[in-house]
Structure 1
Amino acid sequence: MTRNNIISLDVAIIGGGIAGLATAIALRRAGHQVTVYEKSRFSNEVGAAIHCAPNATRVLEWLGFDFIKANAVKNVWSHLGDGKTGEALRSNSLAHIESQYMYPWYFFHRVDLHNGLKDLAFGEVGQGIPAVLKLQSRLASVNATDTSLNFEDGSVVSADLIIGADGVHSTLVKWVVQDEVSAYDTGHSAFRFLVPVQSLLEDPETRWLVVDKPSTMNIFKIDDRRLVAYPCRNGELMNFVCIHPDGNSKESKEEWNVSADSDRLAKAYSMFHSSLRALCRHSEDLEDLKLWKLLYRPPIKTWTRGKCTLIGDAAHPMLPHQGQGGGMSIEDAGALGVLFSNIDSKASIPARLQMFQSVRYNRASAVQIFSNFGQDEATMMAAEAAKYGFRKVPTTQMEFHQFLYSYNVLEDTKARVSKEFFGTH
């Protein structure tokens, strides 16, 4: 339909994770008719936490996200500790983050974030036509002649704009890149589990984590082993991520999120201080201890082809060392929301997708490189990052914060659209 020469596109989004849902909201608000095709039943959402820094919360607020309803916890302190001794290596306030970067840094239970995005994408309340959700819709292939989508149930779907948000093992990526694209096992995995804060408080050996370090991003490390802990869901749960070498480096198509046992966790962290091993022991009473294989895929040569683009982990899968996987996905959504506002011709879709890649590719690729390492390993990433236009790699926590959090994807995209399509500066 047309209104004042502005058209509404039929948009197909493959994948209903954070990237897909955030983009569905952005494009719904831009006036388009969006359908999200999700391969699962949405009944096995991962019980883990995620944090969103100011570069992402800026976009979430623009999308109308309800942080209170999502039980967000503000991150106000950063603590780096020696895993062997338990002693502090660095501990500093993050109270300046919100005032300096204009938006807060939040911890979420992943399910709460996901549910908040679903409400905005598919709910009746909100700007634009509610997006449509199609569950158990697994993409099989793309027709080369007309770019229609073939699903495993035999259905065929055509759309004006196709967005691949189908993760690191994306079906669409091979069609976009026109080459084999594989993710590789890094030789590291991460145990993930959530513990009720009350349980930690009642244990004399673990009470310190809650009492001494509230609303804190805690990281304890020995060499290439890390124990990360931070609260979520209004401070009711403590999220743990335990990253460690697993000695299994090989090309991987395996399930990325499998059940694990606490004995394996205890063995992997046996060299950590007793106060930290006590935290790990709280996994013994849980039924949902998960092992997450850390996969890496180098930046691909292109994200777009014709009327199709990749976003999120399908475009730029991240290791967790910078905590920006979700943030980069949300930035993608913001850029697409701006780029596809006030579109007046379907013929301009490929050009707008090329601009999307121009806006996002170098930044997301650099963050991919940075995410292979911790913030204390900057020299190891300098050569790779230089390929994406970054001559000066951040070397301190403050420099990383400035690079990651000061960026405004909405304003950057608006400026580029004005210059390219409307001839203004």
Structure 2
Amino acid sequence: MKVERTEVLIIGAGPAGSVAAAMLRQQGRSVLILEREQFPRFSIGESLLPQSMEYIQAAGLLQDVVEAGFQYKNGAAFVRGERQTEFDFRDKFSPGWGTTYQVQRANFDEVLARGAERMGAQLRFRHEVLAVEPGEQPRVTVRSPEGEEYVVEADFLLDASGFGRLLPRLLKLESPSNFPVRGAIFTHVRDHIGHDAGFDRNKILITTHPEHVDVWYWTIPFSNGTCSLGVVAEMDVLKRYEGSDLQRLQALVGEDPNLGRLLAQAEWGVMPVRQITGYSANVSSLWGPGYALLGNAGEFLDPVFSSGVTIAFRSAELAAQCLARKYAGETVDWEQDYAIPLRAGVQTFRRFVEAWYAGGFQKIIFHPDPQPDVRRMICSILAGYAWDTRNPYVADTTGRRLRVLEELCSA
């Protein structure tokens, strides 16, 4: 069997894999990306956070993204019944980017992957990893589109396989998430939302179900007149609705008067309706001998605050920094230098996700008289700055400060 050699092998050409590859190419490393699918291909996670722009810029991919023509995004709007509020990400506590994009991931992921290729990474589509031997010199068995098998040896392996979660499955690293099993039903529609509808296309719209605080909808407008539309709920709620996935989604959307009005002229059928269930995932370890897990391959929380791509980019940056030190001859402690810093921001998002579904965080964001400084701190986390420990709501790892704020807003 043919044996190839590279310094860093990356499994998966999604956002984590492509940004890691671009950063490693800046270091002069030889990089091979193996991707099971053929791009462009559909993926979920379409509303970026401003923090992600810093990683795109650091990877040398900013021009690729800016010139792709994606929908500009400067914030998030929230609606529940008659209550509504919005956060402008440019008015936040943390320094850094305050704007970003809302993207069709099929196009966005290909832009990043081709950008990494432009920077010198080898990129192979439709090459499937069959087996992995971790260790100081990890070996991977691969099958080409023509059915031929070959082996790749590397100094280090990065698993950026996303929801495919290749290494967690092959190496039995999967660990149960502590979140309830939820599902999402979603599609793209041609929305035909008029300019007089009060809908800001520069913001994601998050709508809470009028009766159920833990059921919510996303409406993500794109630059081509379509939008991504989805609903998230626990599985016992979704199972109450009969019919096809399209009929179930339409029934759920129809239960919210605001969304029903906003999408009254929408054309359905732009894309098949899809459903994913049990997407929250965790692992026993984010690294091992000769490998590390990036992005969703390691942990995925929940789509409510669009944190997935930002976490993926942060994991890519941390891994690239660790590998730079490794090649400089330094000793790298992957737990201290990679896993712990990455999980610190994930835990920040986790506290806010849990507070959202419990209803307490919704009391905060819909409070009629918010304190401006506190609102900017909250806005920073919604903008993705979950690693900025200057922010008291990030620095407080116990969540006590957030619970106190919930109590004050409930009074």
Identify the TM-score tier after normalising by the shorter chain: 0.7 to 0.9
Report the secondary structure of 2:36's partner residue.
Answer: coil
Paired residues for 1:127-206 under 5 Å: 130-143=120-133, 147-152=138-143, 154-174=149-169, 179=173, 181=175, 186-196=180-190, 199-201=192-194
Structure 2 matches for 1:301-320, cutoff 5 A?
A: 301-320=284-303
Aligned equivalent of 1:230: 220
* 1:93-138 Cα shifts (integer Å, max 9, x gaps): 4442499534423322223321220221112xx4xxx111222222
Alignment partner, residue 268 of structure 2: 284
Partner of 2:208: 221
Q: Residues 21 and 378 of structure 1: is their aligned pair in 2 closer, same or farther, counting only changes over 3 Å?
A: farther
Number of equivalenced pairs? 359
Match status 1:400 vs 2:393: no
User: Structure 2 CA distance, aligned partners of 1:368 and 1:408?
Assistant: 13
Amino acid at match of 1:73: Q
Tell me, what secondary structure is at the counterpart of 1:22?
A: helix
Spell out the pairing of 1:35-114 with structure 2 (5 A cutoff): 35-46=32-43, 50-64=46-60, 65-66=62-63, 67-82=65-80, 85=81, 87-97=82-92, 100-114=95-109
8 A Cα contact 1:20 1:36, kept in partner: yes
The range that moved more, 347-356 or 59-68, is 347-356
Q: Gaps spanning 5+ residues in structure 2: where?
A: 363-373, 389-411
Change (3 A) 1:323 1:144: closer
Contact 1:168 1:313 (C-alpha < 8 Å) held by counterparts: yes
Aligned to 1:122: 117
Q: What TM-score does the superposition give when structure 2 sets the normalisation length?
A: 0.74
1:220, CA displacement in angstroms? Answer: 1.5
1:274/1:340 CA distance change after superposition, 3 Å: closer
Judge conservation of contact 2:296–2:312 (CA < 8 Å) in 1.
yes
Q: CA deviation at 1:217?
A: 2.2
Query: In structure 1, what is the Cα distance between the partners aligned to 2:253 and 2:106?
Result: 28
Deviations 1:347-388 (A, max 9, x none): 7575457522233233224434544552874689xxxxxxxx
- The answer as to whether partners of 1:188 and 1:248 remain within 8 angstroms in 2 is no
* Contact 2:47–2:220 (Cα < 8 Å) also in 1: no
Residues 1:9 and 1:142: Cα distance change in structure 2 (over 3 Å): closer
Q: Please report how far the alpha carbon of residue 182 of structure 1 lies from its aligned counterpart in structure 2 after TM superposition.
A: 5.6
Q: Compute the displacement of 1:13 (Å).
A: 0.6
- SS of 1:71's equivalent? coil
SS of the residue corresponding to residue 36 of structure 1 reads strand
Report the equivalent of 1:272: 256
Which letter does structure 2 place at the counterpart of 1:200? I
Do the aligned partners of residues 337 and 58 (structure 1) sit closer, same or farther apart at CA in structure 2, a change above 3 Å counting? same
Residue 204 of structure 1 aligns with which residue?
Answer: none
State the distance in 2 between where 1:270 and 1:249 align. Answer: 14
Work out the percentage of aligned pairs sharing the same amino acid.
15
Alpha-carbon distance in structure 2 between the residues aligned to 1:379 and 1:53: 19
Structure 2 match to 1:242: 231
Residue deviations 1:160-210 (CA, integer Å, cap 9, x gap): 01001112342212566x55546799443223223335x333xxxxx654x
- Please give the secondary structure, in 2, of the residue aligned with 1:213: coil
CA distance in 1, matches of 2:321, 2:152: 25
Counterparts of 2:326 and 2:268, CA distance in 1? 54
Compute the RMSD of aligned alpha carbons: 3.6
**1:9, distance to aligned residue in structure 2 (A):** 6.6
